Structure 1
Amino acid sequence: MLPDFIDPEYVLYGIVFLAVVLLAEGGFLWWRDTYGPKKRVSKRMAMLERGATSEEIITALRRQSTDVSKSLLPSVIRYLDARMNQAGIRMSAQRMLTIMASVTMLIGFLFPLLGGITGQVRSAGAVLLIVLFAGGIGIALPVLAINYLAARRLKLLEKQFPTALDVLVRGLRAGYPITGALELVVSEMPDPLSSELGLVLAEMNYGYPLRDALVNLSERVQTQDINMFVVSVSIQTETGGSLSEILDGLAKVIRDRAAMVLKVRALASEGKMTGALLTAMPIITFIGVFWSTPEFYLDVVDDPWFMPGVIGIVFLFTLGVVVMNRLIAIKV
């Protein structure tokens, strides 16, 4: 109950104002992170024409990083940071986690008021439903979206990489140095590979050795093709030899491996689609039903078997997601 000197109407207006502010900020960040990467290459070229320094170019291209040692949830931050790197989202993982937590708490406080169910939230079971509903919207759905964007971007990177190696080999055989050949790839290839290699060039211009810049690339992308490329270049810089011949052979290996990967994906596509649907549909169904008719759940929250049932469902759902991911995670 609120004190007598606090008007509930003003409290509702304040919550709605905060919701609009967070929604506006979220929309701006989504627009920047979605359409910003498409303009990074042209932005880099424009900055070079204006005479920008390598430090300014790196700052413009590199996403915000998170110091895991200072975070309260290092494993969560590390996982989220890796997936956001792969998805091309420039926001830091800690900021994303803060926004997700803020949206979750806001929905948890706002939905009972707007849904007119404040009088029914009087038991631990009802509070648990509100928490699960808010967590589903504020945490589960963003994580599913980030994973989808990361998977789509990685597939595009793997598709572009053999062609990029061919361009790199032709540049090296034409007499370009490695930096010039990389510049040729950046100017010829579209995003997202162009932005990633553009950051490699910016780091090299800033003073990074080629090996360190490529290691940073492999840590950002984390694909086997990029890892093989980095290892090949690192070995060549230490032992010598023709880099163009090495990369030409690597391109053939990657194409053969890509053909094998496509066959494996075709055979495992049914299992992966089933796993994705069985992961997403329970969350989406619960959110949709609770949003439209919360009484469907609130009418039975006082039943003594409700809390054990909810805990059991959450445990079995988590166990099923882990088992399905291990079954469909086929590495080639």
Structure 2
Amino acid sequence: MADLQAFLTPGVATIAIALLAAFSFGGILYALFEPQLSGRAAREKRMQAVASRNITIDAARLARDGDRRRKSVQDQLKEFEAREKKKQHRATHLSLDQRLDQAGLSWSKRGFIVFSVICALVLALTGLLLSGSLIVTGGLMFVGAFGVPRFYLARRRKKRIAAFLNELPNAVDVIVRGTKAGLPLGECIQIVAAEAREPIKSEFRRIVESQAMGITLAEAIAKLPSRMPVAEANFLAIVVMIQSQSGGSLSEALGNLSKVLRERKAMKGKIVAMSQEAKSSAAIIGSLPFLVVGVLSLTSPSYMMLLFSDPIGNVIVVGSGLWMLTGILIMKKMIAFDF
């Protein structure tokens, strides 16, 4: 201990402190300027510049790809809308075969004409037996030939389209679950064609049969709106067509479509509920004259038979019937809502 104290004289201690300070200062300088001296800072700067340039290039490429895909989707939508406008224009002039097909009837034109002739003969015979008036008989024959068959066809067609819209969201949900499970779209459509309710079952079976004949799946589904002229069928055809040409997540797109279909269905239900009061009032107003005529025919038959036995009464009946028909059509137009 005495030797160490003798060694650490004031001069030696000063030198040691100076050396330690010099080493410390040198270490600090080395730590501060080592990246510049070794070139590491320049290398890191170049790497950052290259990375930022790559990021910029990737972002620009992604933006170009997104713009290209967006433009492609827009072009496809415009093309599809133009095609649908042509179909809608043709839909206003549907042939009898198309109406029968949309109504789900397997009749031919000849069968429909035979049905119209039978209705005309039955109503004409009924009018002749009840009234004995040729005017009433002719009017009932005209109604039987042109009114009853077309009314029946339109009602069947409307009910079938309503059943299609009611079941379509469930069919789309089946397809969504199948695609999420890894099944191809064609197999999912086959499942719907085998398990769904009518008329979804028959319509999707047609898609499967068209695909089996060599038609692509997108083209087969694109024919669905011509058989079911509703916006929901157009939505399904658009989604499948865009996905087949542009790619993307089919399950996500169909999931969004299913959500839209269910929201539209709920909105239609609200509209029907809110318009039910007006429809009930129109039904009561339209049925009152017929109820009054029926009651008077039972209570005072001689009073009412003048309308059917006298020529002037026949004119009154025909004129009143035309006015009633005009009023019923106007009320129907007022309470009809386009969905």
For the aligned pair, the TM-score class normalised by the smaller chain equals 0.5 to 0.7
Residue 159 of structure 1: CA displacement? 1.9
**1:168 matched to which residue of 2?**
175
1:68-108 CA-partner distances (Å, limit 9, x unpaired): xxxxxx9998375555434321213x335412432245336
Question: How many residues get paired?
Answer: 247
The structure 2 residue matched to 1:247, chosen from 241, 250, 254, is 254
The structure 1 residue matched to 2:327, chosen from 317, 320, 326, is 320
Residue 261 of structure 1: CA displacement? 1.1
The structure 2 residue matched to 1:157, chosen from 145, 164, 172, is 164
**2:106 matched to which residue of 1?**
90
**1:44 matched to which residue of 2?**
none
Residue 275 (structure 2) pairs with residue 268 (structure 1)? yes
Residue 155 of structure 1: CA displacement? 2.7
Where does the alignment leave 5 or more consecutive residues of structure 1 unmatched? 1-73, 121-125
For the residue of structure 2 that corresponds to 1:161, the secondary structure is helix
Q: Which moved more, 1:232-241 or 1:133-142?
A: 133-142
Amino acid across the alignment from 1:254: L
Amino acid across the alignment from 2:139: L
Contact 2:103–2:153 (Cα < 8 Å) also in 1: yes
1:76 to 1:232, Cα distance in 2 relative to 1, 3 A: closer
**2:33 matched to which residue of 1?**
none
For 1:295 and 1:104, the matched residues in 2 are separated by 30
Normalized against structure 1, the TM-score is what?
0.61
For 1:285 and 1:149, the matched residues in 2 are separated by 30
For 1:102 and 1:76, the matched residues in 2 are separated by 25
Residue 302 of structure 1: CA displacement? 4.0
Structure showing greater relative contact order (alpha-carbon pairs closer than 8 Å, 6 or more residues apart): 1
For 1:199 and 1:176, the matched residues in 2 are separated by 20
Structure whose residues are more often helix by fraction: 2
Query: Bigger radius of gyration, 1 or 2?
Result: 2
Residue 315 (structure 2) pairs with residue 329 (structure 1)? no
For the residue of structure 1 that corresponds to 2:177, the secondary structure is helix
Residue 243 of structure 1: CA displacement? 1.7
For 1:150 and 1:296, the matched residues in 2 are separated by 38
Normalized against structure 2, the TM-score is what?
0.60
1:141 to 1:212, Cα distance in 2 relative to 1, 3 A: same
For 2:114 and 2:290, the matched residues in 1 are separated by 20
Contact 1:108–1:131 (Cα < 8 Å) also in 2: no
**1:107 matched to which residue of 2?**
122
Residue 295 of structure 1: CA displacement? 11
For 1:76 and 1:127, the matched residues in 2 are separated by 36
Contact 1:168–1:182 (Cα < 8 Å) also in 2: yes
1:173-194 CA-partner distances (Å, limit 9, x unpaired): 2222221110011222122211
For the residue of structure 2 that corresponds to 1:180, the secondary structure is helix
For 1:206 and 1:329, the matched residues in 2 are separated by 41
Contact 2:120–2:144 (Cα < 8 Å) also in 1: no
Residue 255 of structure 1: CA displacement? 1.1
For 2:97 and 2:292, the matched residues in 1 are separated by 28
The structure 2 residue matched to 1:234, chosen from 241, 255, 266, is 241
Q: Which moved more, 1:260-269 or 1:138-147?
A: 138-147
1:294 to 1:157, Cα distance in 2 relative to 1, 3 A: farther
